[in-house]
Amino acid sequence: MASEKLNVIDNLQNLDVLQMDRRTFMKAVAALGASGFVARYGTSLAKAMEFSKTKVVWLHGAECTGCSISALNAYNPEFADALEKLNISLEYHETILAQQGLFVDGKLVNTSELNGEILLDELANEGGYILVVEGSIPNGPDNTGKACILGGHPFKDIVEKTARKADAIVAIGTCASYGGITTTNCDTKEYCDFQGMSFTETTPGGILKILGIDKPCINIPGCPAHPDWFFLTVAALILGKLDLNNIGAALDQYGRPKPFYPPESTIHDNCPRRGYYDRGILDKEIAQGGCLWKLGCKAPYAHSDCALRKWNNGLSLCMQAGGPCLACVEPTFPNASMPFFEESEKTEILFGANIGHVALFAIGVAVVAAGVHAVRRMKKE
């Protein structure tokens, strides 16, 4: 995978971003990352968007705002620089909007400059924006959506109002994509009925199907989502490198952009601790320095480029920092990942794959490590 990435970069040396077809563009953004892509094609990007400004409306539902924090922590380009370079006008974002409300300094305000409700209504009436949704959308109780109320309105209704006038929808984070943490098995799950935008866990449809809205939706899962995944997807939309009439061609079966969530490979393939796995050096306690398989690492089941792209400006990722991968990019997170720190082969069914079949694959890759343990277990059965 790493050598393939280098080959892609070499082949892109003299290409103009405006002349790239969609396939080449997506390969470029996947290989270079946000900082490399902007550094190499910044001039072309500026030229492409010189006369074009893209409006973005960003909503918050049932979530922790972690994906916004992740985006705000973007580095090279930083969040504000990315907006400027991509010529994005962030029209609405509840977390970072200036002072506003029904009353400001004790006085009733009735302008969109100070009243967020009026601003959102005006934007929804105008349309022509990319809608970004962060957090899941409760449909309960009893299809009312009242499990999440914002400003006296069910969040479900706010999503409906804005989604109908959007040019495209981006669900950022696993909660908005599939329900995420809010779908954790508990006593209130059925009552709240948390939905993703176009999926709920692995079931297609989500809140858009419930609302009867047929709009292209791109899922950028992760808990949180990587800033690169988000900004480069939006860049592809702005530059027309993602065909909204045939958006499925660029996405996997769960609505994720294939360059960032490759169906053919997993985080495990490029894990910095992979060598320990191949030699059968499996940690049984935190901070021993070996493979984290027996501590519950789900990297063999997680499809994303985390191990190549890395986090915090390309410095590290979960396993490199000593924590097992929890497969937070998968539609079955967190339920299929739990217990988080328990060896995966003790789980009968994981992420829709029979663990016996996964074990056989592991045996083919490395006779030692996880495969050996799986062989013993299967013989016992």
CB 12 within 8 A of CB 243: no
Over pLDDT 70: what percentage of the chain? 82
Considering the domain architecture, whether residues 144 and 287 belong to the same structural domain is answered as: no
CA distances in angstroms from 5 to 239, 257, 294, listed in the order given? 23, 17, 30
Residue 82 counted as domain residue: yes
Q: What is the pLDDT of residue 113?
A: 80
> For residue range 359-370, what is the model confidence (pLDDT) as tens digits?
444 444 444 444
Same domain, 68 and 174: yes
**What percentage of the chain reaches a pLDDT higher than 90?**
60
Q: How many domains does the chain have?
A: 2
Q: Is the pLDDT of residue 147 over 60?
A: yes
82 and 14 in a common domain: yes
Is the domain of 200 the same as that of 94?
Answer: yes
Rounded distance, CA 222 to CA 172, Å? Answer: 8
The verdict on 310 and 199 lying in the same domain is no
Average pLDDT, the chain: 85
- Evaluate the omega torsion of the peptide bond into residue 224 and state whether it is cis, within 30 degrees of 0: yes
Contacts of 67 (CB under 8 A, 6+ apart): 134, 172, 173, 176, 222, 224, 225, 230
List the CATH number of the domain containing 349: 4.10.480.10
Query: Among 276, 279, 273, 326, which residue's Cα sits nearest to residue 304?
Result: 326
Q: In this structure, is residue 68 part of a structural domain? A: yes
Instruction: List Cβ<8 Å contacts ≥24 apart for 366-372.
Output: 366/277, 366/278, 366/280, 368/278, 368/279, 368/280, 369/277, 369/278, 369/279, 369/280, 369/282, 369/291, 369/293, 370/277, 370/282, 370/293, 370/300, 370/344, 370/345, 372/280
- For residues 238 and 321, membership in a common domain is answered with no
Lowest pLDDT segment from 7-11, 115-119, 208-212, 236-240: 7-11
Q: What range defines the domain where residue 339 resides? A: 267-380
Q: Which residue has the tokens 């989502």?
A: 225
CA distances from 175 to 146, 156, 181, 333 (A): 18, 14, 6, 9
Q: How sure is the predictor about 241, in pLDDT bands with cuts at 50, 70 and 90?
A: confident
> Residue 89 in 3-state DSSP?
strand
Asked if residue 163 and residue 289 are part of one domain, the reply reads no
Please check whether residue 258 lies inside any domain of the structure: no
How confident is the model at residue 357, as a pLDDT?
44
Q: What is the mean pLDDT of residues 129-150?
A: 97
Instruction: Check whether residue 273 and residue 234 sit in a common domain.
Output: no
**Domain end: 182, 216, 250, which one?**
250
At 80-134, the pLDDT tens digits run: 988 888 889 999 998 888 656 667 677 777 788 878 888 999 999 999 999 999 9
From the list 143, 248, 142, the residue with the least C-alpha distance to 198 is 248
Whether 245 has a pLDDT exceeding 90, the answer reads no
Q: Which residues contact 157 (CB under 8 A, 6 or more apart)?
A: 145
Residue 186 lies in a domain: yes
Last residue of a domain, which of 216, 250, 284?
Answer: 250
Instruction: Tell whether 255 is covered by a domain.
Output: no
Cα 45 to chain centroid distance, Å, stands at 24
Three-state helix/strand/coil letters over 138-151 = ECCCCCCCCCCEEC
User: Is there a single domain that holds both residue 287 and residue 240?
Assistant: no
Provide the CATH number for the domain around residue 226: 3.40.50.700
Joined tokens for residue 107: 């006085």
Task: Summarize the confidence of residues 273-292 as an average pLDDT.
Answer: 94
| Domain membership flag for residue 262 | no
* Pair (92, 238) in one structural domain: yes
Q: What is the pLDDT of residue 54?
A: 93
Q: How confident is the model at residue 351 (pLDDT cuts 50, 70, 90)?
A: low
Domain membership flag for residue 323: yes
- In this structure, the answer to whether residues 296 and 222 fall within a common structural domain is no
CB under 8 Å to 135, separation ≥6 — which residues?
59, 60, 61, 62, 63, 155, 173, 175, 176, 182
Higher-confidence residue of 295 and 352: namely 295
Q: Is the separation of the CB atoms in 327 and 296 below 8 Å?
A: no
Same domain membership, residue 113 and residue 226? yes
Coil/strand/helix, residue 334: coil
Residue 364, pLDDT score: 44
Residue 355: per-residue pLDDT: 45
Residue 261 falls inside a structural domain: no
Look at 91 and 76; give whichever has higher pLDDT.
91
**b/e per residue 217-235 (b: at least 16 CB within 10 A):** bbbbbbbbbbbbbbbbbbb
Cα-only R_g, the chain: 22
Mean pLDDT lowest among 225-234, 276-285, 340-349? 340-349
What one-character-per-residue DSSP string does 27-57 give?
A: HHHHHHHHHHHHHHHHHHHHHHTTT--EEEE
Q: Which of 250, 284, 301 is the last residue of a domain?
A: 250
CA separation for the pair 123, 110 (Å, rounded): 15
Q: Which residue would you say has higher pLDDT here, 320 or 378?
A: 320
| Dist. CA 299–CA 292, nearest whole Å | 9
pTM for this entry: 0.85
Residue 15's pLDDT band, with cuts at 50, 70 and 90, is: low
